[in-house]
Structure 1
Amino acid sequence: MVKKGGADKLFDLVLYTLLAILAFTAIYPFWNTLVMSLNEGKDTSMGGLSFWPRAFTFTNYEVIFSDERFFRAMGITIARTVSGTFLSVLVTALMAFALAKKELKGKRFFMIIGIITMYFQGGLIPSYLWLRELGLFDNFWVLIIPGMLSIWNMIVFRTFFQGLPEELEESAKLDGCNYYSLFFRIVLPVSGPVFATLSLFTAVGLWNEWFNAGIYINNPDLLPVQNYLMNMINSSSTAEMLSQMGSGVNVVTQTFTPKSLQMTAVMVVTLPIIVVYPFLQKYFVKGVMIGSLKE
C-alpha cells in the first residue's frame, strides 16, 4: 500500500472540503423548505429560521391535505406520469428499434427528420392551433400526446440496440420470431438499465411539467399538481390562496401564512420523486453509458 505524502493529503483535504460545501449548498435549500413547512407560519414570517423549527406544527400539512383540489391535482399528475412514461418509452423504443435495423430503407432520412425537430420547432402558435383542431383542449391527453416521442431518448435507445449481439436476433429469427416478438421477448428483457434510466428521466419531466396544462387546459379539475402549486405561489395573501383551494380546507387555526403553505406544497410535490429516485439510481450510470458508447 502506497503511503500518501503531505501534498496528497492536502489535495484530499481541499477536495473533500469543496465536495462538502457543494453538498451543503445542494441539500440546505431543501432542508430549509422542510423546516419552514413544519413551523408555524406566523413564527416563520419573523425570520431567523434556519436548521430547526422553532414552533413545530403539522398545521400546514393539515391545511394542504384537507384541500380536495390538491388530491385531484395529485391524481391527475400521477395518472399523467404513469401513462405518459409508459407510452413515451414504448413509442420511442419501438421507433429506435426500427431505426437500428440495417435493412430498413430510408432510415437515414427518418433520422435526419427526427434530429431536425430537436433544434427547430413550429412554435407556440402553430402548436396551439394544431392541438385545438385535434380537439385536445381541456382534455387529459393534451398532457401526454405532444411529448410522447423524444428524439434524444430515441437516439440513446437506438445506440443501445445497435450494440446488442447480432446472434440474439439471428437465433430468434431461426426460432420463428417476427420483429414484434424479437422486441418484446428478446430485446426488452436485456435492456433493463437503459429502459429504467430513460423511464425515470421521462417520469421526472412529466411530473414537473406545467406549461402545457397552463396553456391548453382551462378546466381546474384537469390541472396537474404543479399548476396547483404555481397558483399557490402566485397568491399574495392568505384569503386569495384559500379562495383557490377546495371547500374542505380547515381555516379554524390561522397559524399558517401563504409562505408556509407554499413551502409545504413544495415538499409534498417533491417527495414522491425523491422516494422513487434511490430505487432506480443504480441503473443511471450503466444505462446512460451503454447508450453512449457506440453511434
Structure 2
Amino acid sequence: MSTWVRRNPNAVRQGSTLVDFIIYAIVIAICLATLYPFYFVIIMSISSPREVAAMNVFWYPKGFFLGSYELILKDKQMWWAYSNTIIYVLSGTLLNCLTAILGAYPLTVRHLKGRKWVIAYLIIPMYFGGGLIPSFLLVNNLGLYNTIFAIIIPGAVSIWNIILVRTFFMSIPEGLKESAFMDGASHWQLLFRIILPVSKPIMAVIAIYSIVGIWNSWFDALVYLPNEKLHPLQMYLYRVIVQQTVDLKAMTMEDSANAMTQILSNIQLKYSIIVFTALPVIFTYPFFQKYFIKGALLGSLKE
C-alpha cells in the first residue's frame, strides 16, 4: 500500500544539474577569454622570432627564444623608468592610505557638526571634475610641472578611498570607541592604536587599488613630464608600442655578432616588454589576498 507524502512548499529545493553545468561552462569560458590575451602575449614573447614575425603562434609556443628579454634587461632607459615607477608607486600608495585614513576618521565622529554636509561636498567632485585644462593650469601654477611631484601630489587624495574607508570605520562597534574614551584615549590614540589594527582588510584594498592604478598610469606623465628621465615604466611602454620612438633593436652592444639577435623583430620585443612590465604588479596581489576580499566586501556595505 503506497502512502502519499505532501511536499513542504517551504522546503529548500536542490538546483538542477543541467543549470549548474551551464553556469560552470559560462564561467570557464569567461575565465579563458580573460586569461588568453595575457597567455598569448607570454607565448609570443618566448617563441622563435621567425614564428612570431609570421604570426604562427596561437595556442602554444613554437620554438624557444629569450633573446628579447636579454635585450630588455640591457636597456638603461627601461631600468630608469622602472626606478621612477617604484618611486611613484611607493610614495603614492603611502599618501593615498594616509589621506584616506585622516579624511575618513573625522567623518565617522557622530557629534561632528556639518558632517553630512562635508560628505555631500566630497561626493560632488568625485563625479564631476574640472577637466584637463584646469588641472594642467593648477599643476603649472603650483610649480609642479616637469617634476616628480606632478605625478605624486595630484593623486595623493582619492575621495573614493575616503568614502570606502569611512564605511569600514563605521562598521566598527561604537562600544569599542566609547570604552577607549572612557579609559582616557584621545582621537589620535583611538585611530592609530585601536581602529587601524582592526582595519587591515580595508587598508589592503586601498593599497592594491593604489598600486595598480599608479603602476598602470601613463597619461599624467604624457601631460606633465616632458623630461623623459622622469617618465614611469608605462610611459616608456607607450613610447615603445604606440609612438615607436624607442628603437628596441638598438639595445644590442656594438660588438655583438649574434645572428639570432639580428633577426629579432620589434613585434616580439614589444610582447616581451609587456610581460616584463606587467608581472610585478600581478605578483603583488597574493600578498594582499588575505585581506583583500574581506575588505572589499566590508567596505562596500552601506552605513
Whether TM-score is above 0.5 comes out as yes
Alpha-carbon RMSD? 2.2
Q: Percent identity?
A: 38
The alpha-carbon deviation at position 173 of structure 1 amounts to 2.1
Where does 1:34-53 land on structure 2 (aligned, <5 Å)?
Answer: 34-53=42-61
Provide the C-alpha distance between the structure 2 equivalents of 1:244 and 1:126, rounded to a whole number of angstroms: 40
Provide the C-alpha distance between the structure 2 equivalents of 1:248 and 1:121, rounded to a whole number of angstroms: 48
2:83 alignment counterpart: 75
In the alignment, structure 1 residue 280 sits paired with structure 2 residue 288: yes
1:241 alignment counterpart: 246
Provide the C-alpha distance between the structure 1 equivalents of 2:251 and 2:144, rounded to a whole number of angstroms: 26
The alpha-carbon deviation at position 165 of structure 1 amounts to 1.3
In the alignment, structure 1 residue 221 sits paired with structure 2 residue 226: no
Provide the C-alpha distance between the structure 2 equivalents of 1:244 and 1:155, rounded to a whole number of angstroms: 48
1:264 maps to a residue whose letter is S
1:88 alignment counterpart: 96
The alpha-carbon deviation at position 246 of structure 1 amounts to 6.5
2:163 alignment counterpart: 155
1:104 alignment counterpart: 112
The alpha-carbon deviation at position 51 of structure 1 amounts to 2.4
Deviations along 1:145-175, whole A, 9 cap, x unmatched?
Answer: 1111111111111111111112222222233
The alpha-carbon deviation at position 248 of structure 1 amounts to 6.3
1:135 alignment counterpart: 143
Provide the C-alpha distance between the structure 2 equivalents of 1:286 and 1:276, rounded to a whole number of angstroms: 17
Deviates more, 1:245-254 or 1:147-156: 245-254
Structure showing greater Rg: 2
Q: Is the partner of 1:169 in helix, strand or coil?
A: helix
Provide the C-alpha distance between the structure 2 equivalents of 1:137 and 1:208, rounded to a whole number of angstroms: 20
Deviations along 1:191-233, whole A, 9 cap, x unmatched?
Answer: 0111111210111111101111110001111100000000000
- Of 67, 74, 78, which residue of structure 2 is paired with 1:59? 67
Whether contact under 8 Å (1:40, 1:255) holds in the other structure is no
Q: Is the partner of 2:154 in helix, strand or coil?
A: helix
TM-score, length-scaled by structure 2: 0.88
Structure 2 unmatched runs, 5+ = 1-12
The alpha-carbon deviation at position 114 of structure 1 amounts to 0.9
2:121 maps to a residue whose letter is I
Counterparts in 2 of 1:248 and 1:226: CA distance versus 1, 3 Å: farther
2:301 maps to a residue whose letter is L
Deviations along 1:234-279, whole A, 9 cap, x unmatched?
Answer: 255xxx5327976869975223211111111110111011111123
In the alignment, structure 1 residue 33 sits paired with structure 2 residue 41: yes
Whether contact under 8 Å (1:69, 1:246) holds in the other structure is no
The alpha-carbon deviation at position 103 of structure 1 amounts to 2.0
Provide the C-alpha distance between the structure 2 equivalents of 1:115 and 1:24, rounded to a whole number of angstroms: 37
Provide the C-alpha distance between the structure 1 equivalents of 2:223 and 2:151, rounded to a whole number of angstroms: 11
Structure 1 unmatched runs, 5+ = none
Provide the C-alpha distance between the structure 2 equivalents of 1:247 and 1:141, rounded to a whole number of angstroms: 34
1:18 maps to a residue whose letter is I
1:210 alignment counterpart: 218
TM-score, length-scaled by structure 1: 0.91
2:47 maps to a residue whose letter is N
Provide the C-alpha distance between the structure 2 equivalents of 1:294 and 1:153, rounded to a whole number of angstroms: 15
Whether contact under 8 Å (1:37, 1:263) holds in the other structure is yes
Counterparts in 2 of 1:244 and 1:100: CA distance versus 1, 3 Å: farther
In the alignment, structure 1 residue 185 sits paired with structure 2 residue 182: no
Counterparts in 2 of 1:209 and 1:91: CA distance versus 1, 3 Å: same
Q: Is the partner of 1:234 in helix, strand or coil?
A: helix
Provide the C-alpha distance between the structure 1 equivalents of 2:80 and 2:42, rounded to a whole number of angstroms: 23
